[in-house]
Structure 1
Amino acid sequence: MFTLPLGDTAQLRPLEPWHAQEFLAHIDRARPHVDPWIPWATFSTDRASATAVLQRYADKQAGDAARIYGIWLDGTLVGGVMFTRFDSASGVCEVGCWLEAAGEGRGLVTRACRALLDWAFAERGMSRAEWWVRAGNTRSVEVARRLGMTRDGVLRKHTEYRGERHDIEVWSVLTEEWPPRRRHPREEYPFPRSRPN
């Protein structure tokens, strides 16, 4: 397992099914803050459903189709980032995030997403990374901007949530637009390197 420091006492680590109880406690704290923007937060209501969410990502990771990582601050899970879609054949992935109030204002999501995008472009050869966000989610839009993404457009009335349809903004960054990450020579890459064919 890897641990990637995000500064001070924050770390990025894989979020796996065995974290279900910790994940559930975190989602219970985060629910009022993230539920309006991230519908899947409503699916984790007990240990079994929290395990199912994390198992779904574990299965998708095994198929190279998605991945999920937790952000720990002072040893407490406060949020996470993920590849909600990862399609190496088309070269397109989608990055997402969530954070409870205790983790806000520290740049944790931006730093964690940069690590994901560095890996997607440099190691996996992705061509395009997307960021889908419900219209009105200004905090998420600000992260997309900080990552240097461009707003491609709006999918009008795209997603239904609690009986109401919502617009979805699509943001993206292309591999040629992504700046190379400057790492200390001894710093380990945050994800497993690809194996040559």
Structure 2
Amino acid sequence: MPRTRRLNEEIELRQVEEQDAEAFFLLIERNRQHLRTWLGWLDNVHTIEDERDFLRMSYSQFLEDRAASYAILHQGKLIGNINFHPINWQHGRAEIGYMLDSAHEGHGIMTLACQTLLTIAFDDLQLNKVEIRCATGNTRSCAIPRRLGFVEEGVLRHAELLYDHYIDHRLFGMLASEWRARQAVSNWLAE
């Protein structure tokens, strides 16, 4: 899997590293209330050391080809994360998860990052399917797979315990054949 990928003049994806712990922790702290609406793992991250432990685990999974986690950098500053978790080689499938600093939402950054992970998944890793799961009420997050042409496959009821209540997830999927067809049309239109 690639360790870095430049998306444009300002945005780059880079494999997360242990030394990113403080920057990720500060990102989480700045956005904790906003992220808490949709992400259930925030109560596991109280210190920089908690984040460092998570990054060590993520890197270990990367080395074992079980997952890949990328820092999203805007002009060199960490503004988010996007990852494959987990990669199921037996079935040729991976799930994309993501988070972004609220100050950078609405600029197409996450759509571009997801599009790049689709290229990695289908072209580099030769996977057959990529899934994205979003809380049904998270309209911004659900807009990303829709924009990229994913098929909405259904709603998973009570898919996650979010602190004190259950939330439903929308399941979006894209097959390698669908991705290649979309790429062929894009290339044809660009000519």
Q: TM-score surpassing 0.5?
A: yes
Distance apart, 1:180 and its partner CA: 3.4
What are the superposed Cα offsets for residues 117-164 of structure 1, whole Å, 9 maximum, x if unpaired?
Answer: 111111211111000111101011000111110110111112111121
- 2:154 counterpart letter in structure 1: G
Q: What does residue 63 of structure 2 align with?
A: 62
> 1:73–1:103: 8 Å Cα contact kept in structure 2?
no
What are the superposed Cα offsets for residues 89-144 of structure 1, whole Å, 9 maximum, x if unpaired?
Answer: 21010011111122112211111111111111112111110001111010110001
- 2:105 counterpart letter in structure 1: E
Distance apart, 1:2 and its partner CA: 4.7
Q: What does residue 169 of structure 1 align with?
A: 170
Q: What does residue 29 of structure 1 align with?
A: 30
Question: 1:27-176 residue pairs with structure 2 within 5 A?
Answer: 27-176=28-177
- 2:129 counterpart letter in structure 1: R
Distance apart, 1:74 and its partner CA: 2.7
Q: Structure 2 regions of 5+ residues with no counterpart?
A: none
> 1:6–1:108: 8 Å Cα contact kept in structure 2?
no
Q: Structure 1 regions of 5+ residues with no counterpart?
A: 184-197
Distance apart, 1:83 and its partner CA: 0.5
C-alpha distance in 2 between matches for 1:111 and 1:86: 21
The structure richer in helix per residue is 2
C-alpha distance in 1 between matches for 2:60 and 2:39: 21
Q: What does residue 180 of structure 1 align with?
A: 183
C-alpha distance in 1 between matches for 2:7 and 2:115: 11
C-alpha distance in 2 between matches for 1:97 and 1:18: 20
Structure 1 residues 132-141 or 4-13, which shifts more?
A: 4-13
C-alpha distance in 2 between matches for 1:104 and 1:157: 27
- CA-based RMSD of the aligned residues comes to 1.9
C-alpha distance in 2 between matches for 1:124 and 1:78: 26
Partner of 2:58: helix, strand, or coil? helix
C-alpha distance in 1 between matches for 2:165 and 2:60: 31
> 1:37–1:137: 8 Å Cα contact kept in structure 2?
yes
C-alpha distance in 1 between matches for 2:53 and 2:64: 17
- 1:164 counterpart letter in structure 2: H
- TM-score scaled to structure 2, two decimals? 0.88
